[in-house]
Amino acid sequence: MRVLITGAKGQLGGALQRCAPSEAVITAIDVAECDLTDAAALRDVLRRTAPNLILNAAAYTAVDKAESDEATAQAINADAVAVMADAMAATGGKLVHVSTDYVFDGTAASPYSPDAARNPQSVYGRTKAAGEDHVRDSDILVRTAWVYEAGGANFVRTMIRLMKEREELGVVADQIGSPTWASGLARTIWGLVAKDASGTFHHSDAGVASWYDFAVAVAEEAHALGMIPRIPVIRPLTTADYPTPARRPAFSLLDSRATRAALGDEPVHWRTNLRLMLEEEVQLG
């Protein structure tokens, strides 16, 4: 099985490489190997590597910057997906494309199912939804949210850095979802590939949290591991207290029950995975 992984240096791209099955012959690319805004360069990479399977973990994820850089976000989040899907259609291969909770508007009162109506409220969300539209029925679309990984650029590591520097900080408490450990997401993706699945799936860790809840848990777990000298005062903020260029969904909990049923496994609570990630972070030094 010849596998091309995009976004190789990102959190999910790295996790996909670490979790790869032994039979997978991996080619992993990032922007240094191929700028996904260059469709011709991407087609050349696809021609040279001739993958049976593409795991597209690359994305333009600078949510606020995308509001003033829509062309680049569109090229990476949508146009490049079209090139990959066309390549797999021509060779009979499969595309696994990773998308986001931002394709939803955040007005729901219960977790979003894979077939829920999309209504993105930001450039990032719109370009990711446009990318989804290029995924074929025979491919795999996986939506996720709030991704973090040891050693990556993410909310958890940002909080730990701030908690070392400050005695008090504020975190938004009126945006609700569930964190996702990239290692668990990677295992789900490889599991779906092994099952020869197709269609749309959701994956996030079990449980519900606001960013404030997540930050409090990071403080408690990091302090227990000796990563921060004290637990700071954490004040809940509203979205209005912390305005940003891009509108974020107030509620973006994903219903992952169908994914767990397809794989025959049980969901893991986000706090359990947070603890595992922080233990890895300690090992990394």
Catalytic center residues: 124
- Would the CA dihedral through 71, 182, 121, 234 be positive or negative? negative
Are 202 and 263 spatial neighbours (Cβ–Cβ below 8 Å)? Answer: no
Query: Rounded distance, CA 177 to CA 157, Å?
Result: 18
Backbone angles phi, psi at 17, to 5 degrees: -70, -40
The amino acid present at 254, given as its one-letter code, is: L
Are 60 and 66 spatial neighbours (Cβ–Cβ below 8 Å)? Answer: yes
Q: Cβ of 242: how many Cβ atoms within 10 Å?
A: 13
Cα radius of gyration (the chain): 19
Are 251 and 119 spatial neighbours (Cβ–Cβ below 8 Å)? Answer: no
- The token duo for 66 is 């995308």
